[in-house]
Structure 1
Amino acid sequence: MKRIASLLLVSIFAGAITLGAYKLFFEKENFTIISQENPNEIVNASYTPTSAKGAGINEVDFTNAAENTVNAVVHVKNITLSKGPTSIIDFFYGSSGSSVVPHVGTGSGVIISSDGYIVTNNHVITRANQLQVTLNNNRTYNADLIGTDPNSDIALIKIDPDEKLPYLAFGDSDQTKIGEWVLAVGNPFNLTSTVTAGIVSAKARNLGKNQSFIQTDAAVNPGNSGGALVNTNGDLIGINTAITSQTGSYVGYSFAVPSNIAKKVIQDILEYGNVQKGFMGISPAPVNTRDAIEKGINNIDGVYVELVEEESAAQEAGIEIGDIIKKVDEIVVHKYPDLTGYLSTKRPGDTLQFSIERNNELLILPLTLKERQKLIVPEMGLEVKNLTAHDKKVYKTQTGVKIIGVPERYRGYGLSEKVIVKIDEIEIGNIEDAYNAFGAIPKYGKTVITMVGSNGVQDRLIFQ
């Protein structure tokens, strides 16, 4: 027992001696000194540069923009009437009348004037028998359709409010920058006054029809169509229009019609009753094709001109095949939608300054836009163009439209390069006449198309 006690005592003394030696010879004193003379001294812990604009989303105030926008965004209800299903009794015994079933579609709209003008998407109001608009204060009004432009998917409707309404003014979408914070305001899934935030992901995005959309990652879902896309100042920079999704719901990408395009469409509808479009008359070289890769066109920054139409604005301005369009006015052109998007904000008669690269030289050419010279007519899908002075001489006619494109199903009828001068009893003077005449062709019955060949001889084709 005494032996064990002695060993324990020796162990304690050894540990004490070891600890004391460490404290005396090895451990360094570490103090934090607080000086009363310089209490605000700052020591940098990192030399990585920081943004002068702040740390990120927490530095951005969305509240003012959201508050100013929600009261100017409305809920649009589209009521269409269609015949209901026929019962087996109606099938065998007939029916004295047909039942009509209402179908309701919903979307959003943006008030753009205090007296009740509202911009929305064309697809929100298409085929509507009745339009209803509900404001953010839950008041509901019937709306009248003023005009539409299916190409840009913009429509203008009007309500007659009891008082002046809050509204949004159009901003300048050309000044919008990639990476800029934006808000999408609308009524997804019938949830009124919903605000989502994101950034501008891309500009001049083409979805297949040479349109020019603002792409954003702000959440947009069914019902948001026609709603507002605004920046943090509350400026209206776009009308939310589409999403890209395999499910039909938001997956990270949404698209808006730029406000400059929407503004021009609305002004045209109010002033002219239809959309005035200025055309320059070129065709760009297609990209991502074998031919484009072999010619080196695929890597060009700009628009490579592959075709210049006869008597077009481009030809009169001196633009040639092989020119590369680099800039229009102050808009830098990287790809074709950059060009078409800017042209969509202009009218016939507007003069633009084109920066053209030709043989490694930069040229500045003024170009005055002209009215559209060709289009595709409804029903038959023929592509037609207005007659040039040369055409009138060759075909010996002062009126009519020349067929320059024929769909596959009509290739065997000898329509190509013929001039249409009459549809039934309607004389055709230009492409607008042709568009209206073909649009009025009945689905049942026969249609007589009177044409002229290059020899001046008339032909008649009867289509059932």
Structure 2
Amino acid sequence: MRILLSLILSLALALPLAAQTKVPQSQAEISLSFAPLVKEAAPAVVNIFANRVVQQAESPFRGNPMFQDMFRDLFQTRPRMQNSLGSGVILSEDGIVVSNYHVVGMATEIRVVLTDRREFEADILLADEDSDLAILKITSDAPLPHLDFRDSDEVEVGELALAIGNPFGIGQTVTSGIISGLARSGTATGNARGYFLQTDAAINPGNSGGALVDVNGKLIGVPTSILTRSGGSNGVGFAIPANLVARYVEQARAGNDSFVQPWAGIFGQAVDFSLAEGFGLTVPEGVVISSMHPVSPFAEAGLALGDIVLSVDGQAVNSPAEMLFRMSVRPVGDTIAVEYLSDGTIEQAEVALIEAPDTPARDARVIEDGPLAGLGVSNINPAVQSELRLPTSMDTGVVVTRLTGPLRRLGLRVGDVLDQINGLEIEGTGDVATAATMNTRRWRVDGVRGGQRFSYRFRI
């Protein structure tokens, strides 16, 4: 009887505590229920519906004088509306929303739906396909629920995390897990490239662009992709760290419609075990510089080919993607501290964060007439290198920037570097314009793609 009375008294004392609604502050509290945390964070996570107009594949006989009329009705090109579904996170009471580029990119109409069923039309402020991030803006007469950022550099493996989103379009769903990895790079699927947090909280199609939050309801990342064999969650999901998302929000508020990323002007590779032995390192660490642009800010700071970058801004770096991330979370115009190994000695340097220089002039041109009509070209400079992801060794010459019309069927691609057209050396875009005026039916285009030489021949 005494034991029963003691148990009833304990339960009675516990009931008022269980009825309280607040964000858990300790492991003991979080073990009771995630409900207070979800009530705090979920209203800031939204469903996103995006529509875009796409064109169906063109007829393979288009341009063929014999067959294009015969099969006109069979292969007629028609615009088609494509719908996408995903999630987003409100980041400010005035309506700044983050989502993934693959959810809203190129959309003609974006609709944001809150948990209380309010709906808003959204405009894209900034979109970046490479990072798979998009910053949106919605307008409301009343302040909107929103999540605060947490410093994602403070996140540790083993922390509890919740993923909130709209998987499979079934409505807002919450899954729990832990942070299972940091500094993941080169492993995400889709468009996103770079540095990610890894979690085993279930992330499924539709979770993209949602929230990964900690036990205090702060945003630590934006889920962007998964590794899967089945198409569903296998417990390996990736999120873009909050520190990088915050930088995108800052640039969007500043009026940028595309992300301005600091330019390194170097190409590096992770130091593996064999390289570590060659450099006399006891353990593999850092990024070795294998090529460098002459005006790279790293070169200006005193680094050289063969040096190993060990840390950036006080944080160890072990892959090029991690190094770029450390630069990207700092604004252009700042300087960062870099620790590097040079000839067996650890050195320190201050590296300026700059935009890729758009000099010498790119002199972009598009050929309007003749067999090369629709060919767009540009002189190579650091800005063009950065935009087209050309190797730093390709710092001169002429690159293909656009292809329309019949040339698309020739085999040329954007990013190809042109060497010769019909034997004429191509040293600038003016040479391409000159070659386009040649009075001949036989054409030959020579160039380099991905380090490999190519040659295309055709007749008109």
Structure-1-length-normalised TM-score:
0.68
1:180-195, aligned counterparts within 5 Å? 180-195=159-174
For residues 185 and 338 of structure 2, the distance between their equivalents in structure 1, rounded to whole angstroms, comes to 22
Task: Tell me, yes or no, if the aligned pair for 1:136 and 1:192 is still in contact at 8 Å.
Answer: no
User: Residue 179 of structure 2 corresponds to which residue in structure 1?
Assistant: 200
For residues 438 and 164 of structure 1, the distance between their equivalents in structure 2, rounded to whole angstroms, comes to 48
- Pick from 274, 279, 283: which aligns with 2:258? 274
For residues 280 and 443 of structure 1, the distance between their equivalents in structure 2, rounded to whole angstroms, comes to 36
Task: Tell me, yes or no, if the aligned pair for 2:127 and 2:257 is still in contact at 8 Å.
Answer: no
User: Residue 161 of structure 1 corresponds to which residue in structure 2?
Assistant: 140
1:419-458, aligned counterparts within 5 Å? 422-424=365-367, 441-444=403-406
**Amino acid across the alignment from 2:350:** P
User: Residue 25 of structure 1 corresponds to which residue in structure 2?
Assistant: none
User: Residue 242 of structure 2 corresponds to which residue in structure 1?
Assistant: 259
**Residues 1:133 and 2:112 aligned together:** yes
User: Residue 303 of structure 1 corresponds to which residue in structure 2?
Assistant: 287
- Alignment deviations for residues 27-73 of structure 1 (CA, whole Å, 9 cap, x no partner): xxxxxxxxxxxxxxxxxxxxxxxxxx998896476333322211000
- Alignment deviations for residues 241-272 of structure 1 (CA, whole Å, 9 cap, x no partner): 00000111100100000111111112212313
1:188, distance to aligned residue in structure 2 (A) = 0.6
Task: Tell me, yes or no, if the aligned pair for 1:312 and 1:370 is still in contact at 8 Å.
Answer: no
**Residues 1:114 and 2:76 aligned together:** no
For residues 227 and 354 of structure 2, the distance between their equivalents in structure 1, rounded to whole angstroms, comes to 34
Which moved further from structure 2: 275-284 or 334-343? 334-343
Percent identity of paired positions between Structure 1 and Structure 2: 30
1:130, distance to aligned residue in structure 2 (A) = 1.6
For residues 367 and 257 of structure 1, the distance between their equivalents in structure 2, rounded to whole angstroms, comes to 25
- Distance change (3 Å), C-alpha of 1:54 and 1:70: closer
User: Residue 50 of structure 1 corresponds to which residue in structure 2?
Assistant: none
**Residues 1:77 and 2:20 aligned together:** no
User: Residue 38 of structure 2 corresponds to which residue in structure 1?
Assistant: 66
1:219, distance to aligned residue in structure 2 (A) = 0.6
1:187, distance to aligned residue in structure 2 (A) = 0.7
- Alignment deviations for residues 285-333 of structure 1 (CA, whole Å, 9 cap, x no partner): 3556977877778952122222232111000001122322222223122
**Amino acid across the alignment from 1:314:** F
- Distance change (3 Å), C-alpha of 1:427 and 1:123: closer
User: Residue 8 of structure 1 corresponds to which residue in structure 2?
Assistant: none
1:277, distance to aligned residue in structure 2 (A) = 0.9
**Amino acid across the alignment from 1:62:** F
User: Residue 236 of structure 1 corresponds to which residue in structure 2?
Assistant: 219
Which moved further from structure 2: 431-440 or 294-303? 431-440
1:147, distance to aligned residue in structure 2 (A) = 2.0
Q: Secondary structure at 1:169's aligned position in 2?
A: coil
For residues 104 and 458 of structure 1, the distance between their equivalents in structure 2, rounded to whole angstroms, comes to 43
For residues 271 and 98 of structure 2, the distance between their equivalents in structure 1, rounded to whole angstroms, comes to 35
- Distance change (3 Å), C-alpha of 1:132 and 1:214: same
Specify the structure having the higher radius of gyration (Cα). Answer: 1
- Pick from 322, 328, 335: which aligns with 1:351? 335
- Distance change (3 Å), C-alpha of 1:124 and 1:439: farther
**Residues 1:399 and 2:371 aligned together:** no
Q: Secondary structure at 1:459's aligned position in 2?
A: helix
- Distance change (3 Å), C-alpha of 1:365 and 1:75: same
**Amino acid across the alignment from 2:287:** V
User: Residue 406 of structure 1 corresponds to which residue in structure 2?
Assistant: none
Structural RMSD (CA): 3.9
**Amino acid across the alignment from 2:404:** P
Task: Tell me, yes or no, if the aligned pair for 1:204 and 1:341 is still in contact at 8 Å.
Answer: no
For residues 203 and 432 of structure 1, the distance between their equivalents in structure 2, rounded to whole angstroms, comes to 31
For residues 358 and 85 of structure 1, the distance between their equivalents in structure 2, rounded to whole angstroms, comes to 54
User: Residue 378 of structure 1 corresponds to which residue in structure 2?
Assistant: none
User: Residue 224 of structure 1 corresponds to which residue in structure 2?
Assistant: 207
Task: Tell me, yes or no, if the aligned pair for 1:178 and 1:203 is still in contact at 8 Å.
Answer: yes
For residues 181 and 286 of structure 2, the distance between their equivalents in structure 1, rounded to whole angstroms, comes to 17
User: Residue 315 of structure 1 corresponds to which residue in structure 2?
Assistant: 299
Task: Tell me, yes or no, if the aligned pair for 1:75 and 1:187 is still in contact at 8 Å.
Answer: yes
What 5-or-longer segments of structure 2 have no aligned partner?
1-24, 59-69, 369-375, 389-398, 413-417, 437-444, 446-457
User: Residue 381 of structure 1 corresponds to which residue in structure 2?
Assistant: none
1:212, distance to aligned residue in structure 2 (A) = 0.3
**Amino acid across the alignment from 2:354:** K
Structure-2-length-normalised TM-score:
0.68
Q: Secondary structure at 1:305's aligned position in 2?
A: strand
For residues 40 and 27 of structure 2, the distance between their equivalents in structure 1, rounded to whole angstroms, comes to 25
What 5-or-longer segments of structure 1 have no aligned partner?
1-52, 374-385, 388-397, 401-419
- Distance change (3 Å), C-alpha of 1:456 and 1:281: closer
Which moved further from structure 2: 196-205 or 355-364? 355-364
Task: Tell me, yes or no, if the aligned pair for 2:181 and 2:197 is still in contact at 8 Å.
Answer: yes
